[in-house]
């Protein structure tokens, strides 16, 4: 949710980072991505194999983070934590600098 610019203040779209330490290779990545994208309301799923972070954007009115977490768990990969995604919008350099020093 965007607190800084309010761009999603009226929506139910959220981006969360799901920690899935069990992912080792592209096949794991595909399995987890497939499970996430199979959930209603999930718009994007981005896996970082290095950090084991799965960044998922979804409509919280259609699927909850618990439901998505369960879907990933069901593939055999354990979700060990869910955190808010770091906020990045492309509002230009100004907002980036503001963030760095705030
Ligand atoms: Cu694998």
pLDDT along the chain (102 residues), means of 10: 54 93 97 98 97 96 97 98 80 56 56
Give pTM, 2 decimals: 0.77
Q: 2 C-alpha to center of ligand 1: Å?
A: 33
- Residue 5 belongs to a domain: no
CATH number of the domain where residue 75 is located: 3.30.70.100
- Residue 3 belongs to a domain: no
- Residue 7 belongs to a domain: no
pLDDT at 11: 78
Q: 25 C-alpha to center of ligand 1: Å?
A: 4
In this structure, what are the phi and psi dihedrals at residue 40, rounded to the nearest 5 degrees?
-60, 135
Q: From its phi and psi, is residue 46 left (phi > 0), alpha (psi between -120 and 50) or beta? A: beta
The candidate with the shortest Cα–Cα distance to 14, out of 47, 72, 56, 73, is: 56
- Residue 60 belongs to a domain: yes
- Residue 38 belongs to a domain: yes
Residue-range definition of the domain harbouring residue 29 = 13-101
- Residue 72 belongs to a domain: yes
Q: 76 C-alpha to center of ligand 1: Å?
A: 11
As for how many domains the chain has, the answer is: 1
- E strands in the chain: 13-19, 42-48, 53-59, 81-84
């Amino acid at each position: 949710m965007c607190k800084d610019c309010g761009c999603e203040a009226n929506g139910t779209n959220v981006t969360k980072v799901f920690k899935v330490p069990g992912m080792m290779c592209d096949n794991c990545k595909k399995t987890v991505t497939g499970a996430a994208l199979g959930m209603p309301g999930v718009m994007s799923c981005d896996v970082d194999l290095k950090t084991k972070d799965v960044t998922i954007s979804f409509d919280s009115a259609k699927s909850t983070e618990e439901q998505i977490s369960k879907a990933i768990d069901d593939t055999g990969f354990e979700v060990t934590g869910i955190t808010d995604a770091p906020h990045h919008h492309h509002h230009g350099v100004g907002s980036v600098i503001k963030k760095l020093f705030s």
